Amino acid sequence: MATFIVKRFFQFIPVLLGISILVFFLLHLIPGDPALTLLGQDATKEDLERLRNVLGLNEPLYIQLMVFLKNLFQGDLGISIFQDTPVITLISTHLPATLELAVVAMIIALLIAIPLGIISAVKQFSWLDYGSMFFAQIGVSMPVFWMGLLLIIGFSVNLNILPSFGRGEPLLDAFVQTIQTGNLFYLVDSLQHIILPAFTLGVMSAALITRMVRSAMLEVLKEDYIRTAEAKGVRGIVVIMKHAFRNALIPVVTIVGLQFGNLLGGAIVTETVFAWPGIGRLVITAISQRDFPVVQGCVLMIALIFALINLIVDILYAIINPKIQQG
Amino acid sequence: MNKKSWFSILFVMMFIFSAFLAGCSYEKPASNNTGSAGSDDGDAGAARDEIKVGLDVDAGTMDPRLSKDTSAKRVSELVYDGLIRLSANLEPEPGLAEKWESPDPTTWVFTLREDVTFHDGEPFTAEDVKYTFDSLIDPDFQAPYASLYEPIKSVEVVDDYQVKFTLKEPSAPLLSYLDIGIVPKHIGEKNDNTLSNNPIGTGPYKMVKWDKNSKISFEANDKYWGGSPKTNKLTYFIIPDNSTRVASLESGDIDIVHSPLSPQDIKRIKENDQFEVIETEGLGFTYLNFNQKHPILSDLKVRQAIAHLVNKEIISSDIYQGMDTPGKSPLIPASWAYDESISGFSYDPAKAAALFKEAGWEDSDGDSILDKDGEKLKITLSTHSEDPNRMQAVEYLQNEFTKNGVETEVKTSEWPTFSTGLTEGNFDIALVGWLNLVDPDRSFYNPFHTNGGSNYGKYSNATVDELIEKGRTTLEQAERKSFYQEAAKIVTEEVAYDVLLYQGYIAMYNKNLKGFTEHPAGSFYGLKDAEITN
Amino acid sequence: MELSKQYQTENQTGTLPKKGFDFKDFFQLITQSKSVLIGGAFVLVVVICAIFAPVISTHDPYEMNMSERLLTPMEDGHILGTDQYGRDLFSRIIYGARVSLEVGLVSVVLAMVIGVTLGLVSGYYGGWVDTLIMRVVDIFLSFPVLLLAIALVAALGPGIENVILALGFVYWTNYARIVRANVLAIKEEEYIQAAKTIGSNDFRIIFLNILPNCLAPIVVVATLGLGTAIVSEATLSFLGLGIQPPESSWGWTLAFGMKFIREAPHLSVYPGLAIMFTVLGFNLLGDGIRDLTDSKLKRN
């Protein structure tokens, strides 16, 4: 396993390098001058020129790329042009919010997808099956921002039972506080904030996971040992949960891992709608300000998380199904 | 571990967890330190000692010398004081300076308050004033608004509480810009970006925590020289989407929001008697910038004809729902220099057609687009995509122009792309705006002077140049007024700009917020006297 | 190549039987799948709207009338009311089907051409070409492609062509992976080897023998991709990077209608429903076809 992880790590380095270079050139293709955006309409030409020099924007592109890569190898992501703060600090304050959102979204997606998937597999070709699959499909067919705003209008404005924006205390902190004080307020407050954005985000993934659970279950239900179990008189829910579902987990774990990556992508829009202070909003704002170091840093960080998730999926894969040991 | 025991452990853990939760209470903590905007409409009893404000963008830096975005300004209004403060009608009032005098046109002497300390307890003195302005005019410091302070030649400390400004030449607008926050020399000198993230000022509120892109928390400065603020805690929440921000006001998550707002939300909130809506004249205008170097638009008659195709009334009443009012000239109504007699161009397609004809443009090939020498009358109308109202105005104008024989292409891009195009003169007609016009010099020198830094359309008129220069160096307000009014008349007649709208400033707040006074510049300084009542 | 292994699991499309594609058989199967029937019906409705837009629409979709702005549905003969410029919303949605389908179709075809070509080359030749292409695929899969699309549109400038280009350029990886997997599975088959020995050139083998066998999974990915493209276009519009007026896609109408969600909910509800209906149609259709090809594979 250790060699496998090391090997995977080295495979990832060229990918990371490729991403850096791709993003670097793409960003410099985008018209718009960070100096002008920073200094504003009142800036004089001399001021702009001076700032461009300070930011190194007057260097030839390949030199800028070299400088960027050199710093990168030294673990330095640079300093935000707009916030005057190291990029790594910005990422470390925004990333936990996104991860929290993605994890809760994934839990919601699983809570929707697993029951729906199992029901539709067990009752294959029934109206329950079609109904479940249709329901799951609706979630993925709605533009995220549209669903988000509809939820805000419904739950925050009309019913006024959930906050319309922002993040409460970080869930973990809130949990600790609740334990320390015995007061549920902290936990409930955090959960109230996260539920709408997490639902919006999770529904997207629920459709695919439902499909995967269903088809995995269908495969397994046809297997001999399930038939044997049924023949032995073990019936109904026990067979489904104990034998079938456990074996259906393998492909499900894979898609959950891949979907987690998708959630990070979906978070870009969801965070904008719900004013969630995560890395998605950070990167969107940075693109619109031409804050190159921040965009670069965020994209690399997201890529790193993607790679990490893929690795974890592979490891889980090996653990759940020891037959597939990989080198 | 086999799967069975794994499941049992999980089960037991869930049981313990739920038992634990069952034993928990649920009550709002007495002092709500979470600072989160919950849907806490259930607080009965004592009024909340916190005001929650919704802002559209996060601050970039909190150093008032470096800041350029409005949110940073909203922060520095509470955390810092300037030498002066601008009144609601833009007249300078005493701030950290008790009084000032001008022994000659190039000298200003400010007498400072002696009872002021910074939030860290250090006393405020003339040294801090000198340091602030020295760094502002230092080219290496990269202050975005350095050009405003360019007339300052030097700042000298006379004694601890007196400071002397020497100017290169007389400058009338300068005093209006001296409301910029004074920063503590002892911290600023360290040059370590402390002030960018942890502002230390003399103002009514201290910043206690800044969760980037989320919220900024303040606490009252009990030792404030102007009296301790009424409310102890103040929080700015960053909610980028205009509609979400207003929805948060309606759901009680925040207490006050202000411009930029969507016009349609204003109408709805006005009809809701739970909220107060204040509309005042703002300090900005929205205009069409005509590129004078464009082969077609360089013809004055064509510019005038196009100006006659702009229905400002409809744009104001329908797209902006009366939030912004039809514009006339680059002099805003809130200014002492405003001239009502300059009326601009009325919507008149017939007149426009006549002017086009005079300029040689006619529809000779029957495609309903005007042409001249085989060339079509084709222009591009551009604006930036961040402002939905401007996007709508552009789409509306496209329809009007095309209907009247001007083939119009629309180009909307993000601000950085759009503004780069502007500075490079790479546009035909651009819809854009000016903000914070505390002095007419701001809306004349840079935009219209031949050497003006933001004269995107390359407008040039010797008479106008002279008037603008005189306006800048003459100190007598009545004289300045006549210069600017004359200049405004010329640039309007020559369609350098077609001023579309005068921007309004709108604040909407929950009626249980009492004691807030608004300011045309959107200043939140008035929040120091506001409180939440039941 | 661990990444691509997972993707095969994700897209269990399998391969089709060896010799070509039996359309008669295929259409027989279609009638058996409710998913395909329902999805196909949805899509058909949208396509009809797009083709016969001038006949179906009740008003000129570009005609502004500021005195009739924001009318509610069924008011003054406007079936779905009017938008912020007093234009008839029903007619705009009908015409919007053209733009949205155009964005979807052209970008999917673009993605397909890029992806299928690279997938074929990668799978057929193997070696360093394969490694290189798959590394590029990895790069694209290593961060949210939406981000890439945003940056591309920002770089290219707004407008329908650029939106299409951007979407086509970011969504090609699925095709490349699936085609490659299929090529790998069949290129060692006897008839391919036979073709090689009789001296057919690579080009002939790839396009006449291999490509037809990859058609089913390509159709599945493309159908699902149409939905993704339409939603992505809406998202770009929401972020201010959409097409340019007076042209109007559903996404653009929706993104702008959301500014009026409180006083004129019809402006965002109906375009939103149009998108949902269409995307649902494509998704059901795609999933249905996938199930059919899977079950057909199993029967063999």
Average pLDDT, chain A: 81
Q: What pLDDT is stored for residue B31 in this prediction?
A: 44
Is residue C70 a part of any domain in this protein? no
User: What backbone torsions phi and psi does residue A14 show, to the nearest 5 degrees?
Assistant: -60, -35
Q: The tokens of A24 are what?
A: 């670097």
Based on the fold, state whether residues B182 and B313 are members of the same structural domain.
no
Is residue C139 a part of any domain in this protein? no
Q: Is A19 on the interface with C (CB under 8 A)?
A: yes
Based on the fold, state whether residues B261 and B389 are members of the same structural domain.
no
d(C-alpha C98, C-alpha B17), whole Å: 55
Inter-chain residue contact B395 with C262, CB threshold 8 Å? no
d(C-alpha C139, C-alpha A303), whole Å: 9
Looking only at the bridges linking them, the beta strands covering B97-101 and B371-372 are unpaired
Q: What pLDDT is stored for residue C16 in this prediction?
A: 42
Q: What pLDDT is stored for residue A327 in this prediction?
A: 35
Inter-chain residue contact C240 with B396, CB threshold 8 Å? no
Q: Cβ contacts (< 8 Å) between B66 and chain A: which residues?
A: 84
Q: Cβ contacts (< 8 Å) between B248 and chain C: which residues?
A: none
Q: Which residues span the domain enclosing B238?
A: 47-77+203-274+511-533
Is residue B315 a part of any domain in this protein? yes
For residue C63, give every residue at least 6 positions away whose Cβ sits within 8 Å of its Cβ, in sequence order, or none.
Answer: C87, C88
For residue A103, give every residue at least 6 positions away whose Cβ sits within 8 Å of its Cβ, in sequence order, or none.
Answer: none
Q: How far is C159 from chain B (nearest CA, A)?
A: 8
- Low pLDDT (below 50) residues in chain B: 1, 31-45
Q: What pLDDT is stored for residue C71 in this prediction?
A: 85
Looking only at the bridges linking them, the beta strands covering B531-532 and B513-514 are antiparallel
Q: Which helix (H) or strand (E) holds B276?
A: strand B275-290
Contact status, residue B220 vs residue B204, Cβ threshold 8 Å: yes
Query: Residues A315-327: what's their mean pLDDT?
Result: 59
Is residue B21 a part of any domain in this protein? no
Q: What pLDDT is stored for residue A156 in this prediction?
A: 77
As a residue count, chain C comes to: 300
Contact status, residue B363 vs residue B369, Cβ threshold 8 Å: yes
Is residue C118 a part of any domain in this protein? no
Chain A residues 139-178 with CB within 8 Å of chain B:
149, 152-153, 156-157, 160-169, 178
Contact status, residue C278 vs residue C43, Cβ threshold 8 Å: yes
Q: The tokens of B317 are what?
A: 């009443």
Is residue C62 a part of any domain in this protein? no
Name the nearest CA neighbour of B59 among B247, B216, B252. B216
Burial of residue B255 (CB within 10 Å: 0-12, 13-18, 19+) is buried
Q: What pLDDT is stored for residue A131 in this prediction?
A: 83
Inter-chain residue contact B237 with A165, CB threshold 8 Å? yes
Chains with 3 or more CB pairs under 8 A to chain B: A, C
Q: Is B348 on the interface with C (CB under 8 A)?
A: no
Q: What pLDDT is stored for residue B400 in this prediction?
A: 93
Inter-chain residue contact B392 with C84, CB threshold 8 Å? yes
Q: Is B421 on the interface with C (CB under 8 A)?
A: no
Question: Among A211, A255, A287, whose Cβ lies nearest the Cβ of C154?
Answer: A287
Inter-chain residue contact A26 with C262, CB threshold 8 Å? no
Is residue B463 a part of any domain in this protein? yes
Q: What proportion of chain B, given as a percentage, has pLDDT over 90?
A: 54
Q: What pLDDT is stored for residue A326 in this prediction?
A: 41
Please list, residue by residue across A89-124, b when 16 or more beta carbons sit within 10 angstroms of its beta carbon and e when fewer do: ebbebbbbbbbbbbebbbebbbebbbebbbbbbbee
d(C-alpha B156, C-alpha B172), whole Å: 20
* Nearest residue in chain C measured CA to CA from A262: C144
Q: How confident is the model at residue A273 (pLDDT cuts 50, 70, 90)?
A: confident
Span of A61-70, A139-148, A167-176, C275-284 with lowest mean pLDDT: A167-176
CB atoms < 10 A from the CB of A3, how many?
Answer: 8
Tracing tokens 């805000």 back to the chain, one arrives at A152
What's the CATH code of the domain at B239? 3.40.190.10
Q: Which residues span the domain enclosing C194?
A: 32-53+76-107+158-166+185-298
Q: What pLDDT is stored for residue A287 in this prediction?
A: 87
Q: The tokens of C146 are what?
A: 């939406």
Q: Cβ contacts (< 8 Å) between B433 and chain A: which residues?
A: none
CATH topology for A90-324 is: MetI-like fold (1.10.3720)
Domain count, chain B: 3
Domain end among B133, B156, B189? B189
- Low pLDDT (below 70) residues in chain C: 1-31, 294-300
Pinpoint the residues of chain A covered by CATH 1.10.3720.10.
90-324
Is residue B38 a part of any domain in this protein? no
Q: Cβ contacts (< 8 Å) between B215 and chain A: which residues?
A: 166
What's the CATH code of the domain at B180? 3.90.76.10
Based on the fold, state whether residues B355 and B235 are members of the same structural domain.
no
What's the pLDDT tens digit per position in B54-108?
998 888 888 998 887 788 888 888 999 999 998 877 888 999 999 999 999 899 9
What's the CATH code of the domain at B422? 3.10.105.10
Question: Among A133, A145, A215, whose Cβ lies nearest the Cβ of C238?
Answer: A145
Is the per-residue pLDDT at A307 higher than 90? no
Q: How far is B354 from chain C (nearest CA, A)?
A: 24
Domain count, chain C: 1
Tell me the one-letter amino acid at B431: L
Is residue B8 a part of any domain in this protein? no
DSSP state of B516: -
Name the nearest CA neighbour of B377 among B460, B294, B315, B493. B294
Q: Is B20 on the interface with A (CB under 8 A)?
A: yes
Chain B residues 353-382 with CB within 8 Å of chain A:
none
d(C-alpha B97, C-alpha B228), whole Å: 19
For residue B67, give every residue at least 6 positions away whose Cβ sits within 8 Å of its Cβ, in sequence order, or none.
Answer: B59, B60, B61, B73, B75, B76, B144
Question: Among B388, B398, B412, whose Cβ lies nearest the Cβ of C158?
Answer: B412
d(C-alpha A324, C-alpha A327), whole Å: 10
Helical H segments across B321-408, by residue range:
349-358, 388-403
Contact status, residue B197 vs residue A85, Cβ threshold 8 Å: yes
What's the pLDDT tens digit per position in A124-150?
777 888 888 888 888 888 888 888 888
Is residue C280 a part of any domain in this protein? yes
Is residue C144 a part of any domain in this protein? no
For residue A60, give every residue at least 6 positions away whose Cβ sits within 8 Å of its Cβ, in sequence order, or none.
Answer: none
Q: The tokens of C280 are what?
A: 């649902």
Q: Cβ contacts (< 8 Å) between A141 and chain C: which residues?
A: 227, 231, 275-277, 279-280, 283
Based on the fold, state whether residues B426 and B490 are members of the same structural domain.
yes
Q: Is C252 on the interface with B (CB under 8 A)?
A: no
Tell me the one-letter amino acid at B438: V
Inter-chain residue contact B395 with C85, CB threshold 8 Å? yes
User: What backbone torsions phi and psi does residue C124 show, to the nearest 5 degrees?
Assistant: -75, -45
Q: Cβ contacts (< 8 Å) between A153 and chain C: which residues?
A: 261-262
Q: Cβ contacts (< 8 Å) between A244 and chain B: which residues?
A: none
Q: The tokens of A247 are what?
A: 């074996």
Complex ipTM: 0.83
Q: What pLDDT is stored for residue A325 in this prediction?
A: 44
